[in-house]
Structure 1
């Protein structure tokens, strides 16, 4: 559910890095499992810096 919500938002031109938590909060309204997960994790951050560094290391 979380992945689908983020992909849909990205496809609609939404900046998921900035609005990711809001996207997931709206999706959690339709998914009790996602709501529980978000309550467990508390703070959700979208940090892509590590992925970019890993890609450079493999070139």
Structure 2
């Protein structure tokens, strides 16, 4: 295996802070360009899911 995931294998989860419910959706629902940097787009919030986790003390 090459270690890479296909776009239809990448899922995002976003939790609604008020209701506590979560939405789940595929990367392929965004139709990213083939030459687009998926990691950079994710980190800049283009896909909606939180791209970082805060450390809780």
Provide TM-score, normalisation by structure 1. 0.26
Which has the larger strand fraction? 2
Provide TM-score, normalisation by structure 2. 0.26
